Amino acid sequence: MGSRQQEKSLMTKTELKEAARQLFLENGYEETSIQDIAGQAGYSVGSVYRQWKGKKELFMDIWNDYVSDFIRTSILQAPPSPNQETMIDYLLARSQEYKKNEMTRKLHQTSLLVSATYDYEGLLSWADKYKQMLYLFLKGLNPDQPDRLLKSTASIMHCVLNTDAQQEADTSSPKYEFDLQTLRICLLAIVEKVTG
């Protein structure tokens, strides 16, 4: 495929994804058809099927981009050499931002329902990098602590922050109650205990 054809294909894919994203947000996943998406973007139904096997794959491609981009931005915008409070406040602010995002509020539940067999391409890689960022933060506070302890703590923090970020969107899970101030106190206590 020539570069001009590749550019056209990429533009088509981008426009179809944007149309689908808008329709999923406005009408929901179930109420949006491939025909709706193609019509919204100004393409034929065949154009959609040339890019994805079906609506599920298109949705998961959009969801993968959204979550991967959110995690990537969280890593890239993290404060350099932060102290405990600065980092915990940053992580909690990002958690709140994710929680309040329209994509999370409206489409998180759908992502759980349609993703059972989906292979997240970028998302898992960025989730590992996020956990690595937490590990390096802890290591920077006390490099003498064993890696096993720091990596385990980074994983615990990652799980708690994920649960907080998804608590309002995930209606199928038990309802955890995270008061922001209490969560902050607990995360600071964990960091202090491990690195202190």
108: which 2 tokens?
């998180």
pTM score of the predicted model: 0.85
* Model confidence pLDDT, tens digit, residues 150-186: 999 999 999 999 989 887 776 665 677 888 999 999 9
**Distance (Å, rounded) from C-alpha 23 to C-alpha 21?**
6
Q: What is the DSSP string of 91-103?
A: HHHHHHHHHHSHH
**Distance (Å, rounded) from C-alpha 36 to C-alpha 29?**
11
* Model confidence pLDDT, tens digit, residues 44-72: 999 999 999 999 999 999 999 999 999 99
Residue 1: the pLDDT is: 56
Residue 68: the pLDDT is: 93
